Amino acid sequence: MRLLLIEEDSRRCAEIRQRLASWRPDTELVVRDPVLQGALPTEFLAQGFDAVLLAGEWSGGSGLAWAKELAGRTGFAPIVLLSGRDSAAYEAIPLGVFLVAREEVAHERFTQVLAAAEHRQSFARAVWRTSVAGRDAQRFGGAFIRGYRHIRRIATGTVSDLYLGESEAAGTLVALKVARDRHVEHGELDDSFRRFLQEYAIVQRIRSPGIVQLYDLGVSDEHAWLVMEYFPAGDLRGRMRAGISVRRALFHSIAIARALEAIHHAGVLHRDLKPGNVMLRDDGSIALIDFGLSKDAALVKDVTDHGMIFGTPHYMSPEQGHGEPIDGRSDLYSLGVILFEMLAREKPYKADNPMALIYKHRKEPVPRLPEAFEPIQPILDRLLAKVPEDRFADAGEAAVALEGALRRVLIGEGVT
């Protein structure tokens, strides 16, 4: 059994967890604080849960009000309202909501209600999976992906499409990256498809909060798909458009550097670090995505050929732009470009075509930050040094320097 509990009171959460442990020890209880985490996403149907338990009330919120809204979502999981008010029954029961008084949590009625909710959800799942509508909802482009509900397409790429879906197994909204075709020539997959599969292998090996979480990989005769963490807060590119404070810019830069430290330690170079590949979580933390162009030292054969140029010209190091050998310091150069863009609100180099940009990254001097950020310039000078040997030795060293700058900002020294 898997349950989602909407509750602010940690003591009440502990009581319910203890009650479940004495009844069915294998029950998984996922707790969501309605005050800190807010309302459930409008597309979410809790299909991966046997029931959703709602506290009767919390600071500034009402379980009954939530129950009314959630019960109106077609296909939403059974709702159990834990209310201390008898009057709630008159409004909750017509909605199909189970009602349990707070004091009944310690009694048999609570577990009886949960068993009934589980039975209802099990039947609803079986009907949905075998229905025409249910099968259609599990189609993502031309791929049928069992256990995932299609919500909408987020983006279209040259090789794959990105969809928003709900995972029954993960019990959450997820992003599904679906490759449209599997091209096989002479018994081998083409490079674009191999890069797609490499991304899964890389991310599964790197355990870091600064890396996107992957849930699943699937392959059929004609399609492959990655199921990954969904970021409703969007990416760093969108946040930069609205403007970022120097504190937030340094905070994000430190987090990116620490994520790069974990990646490089695993023998991987990202090679396409840019604001669009830095995702934001609701708690303000970041996660790097898109390892399809990464270079993995653990692979017997890299998926790109020597001398070929991959990446985004605005964020490429000079050596990467010229197809020369690179190491982790190339990713640090890309971090420097992002840091400059966050603070100056413009890219360090501008040109009419990619080759002109590549030339400027190698030949033009390191750009100057606005005067207000002058104390950060020495760090930027090292990140954007033309020669890798003049940059920080590794991502950990860069993170330490950025952390020092952030401390100076927090105590009001030099940067406003």
User: Which residue in 17, 85, 91, 89 sits closest to 53, CA to CA?
Assistant: 17
CA distance 136 to 148: 11
User: Which residue in 209, 142, 140, 202 sits closest to 177, CA to CA?
Assistant: 140
Contact 249, 328 (CB under 8 A): no
Contact 215, 174 (CB under 8 A): yes
Active site residue 272: yes
The catalytic residue among 50, 161, 235, 272 is: 272
What angle (nearest 5°) sits at the alpha carbon of residue 207, between those of residues 239 and 13?
Answer: 80
Q: Which amino acid is at 306?
A: H
254 CB-near residues (< 8 Å, 6+ apart)? 399, 402, 403, 406
Name the token pair of 195: 């890069």
CA distance 342 to 381: 15
* DSSP state letters, 91-145: HHGGGT-EEEEGGGGGSHHHHHHHHHHHHHHHHHHHHHHHSHHHHHHTEETTEE-
The catalytic residue positions are 272
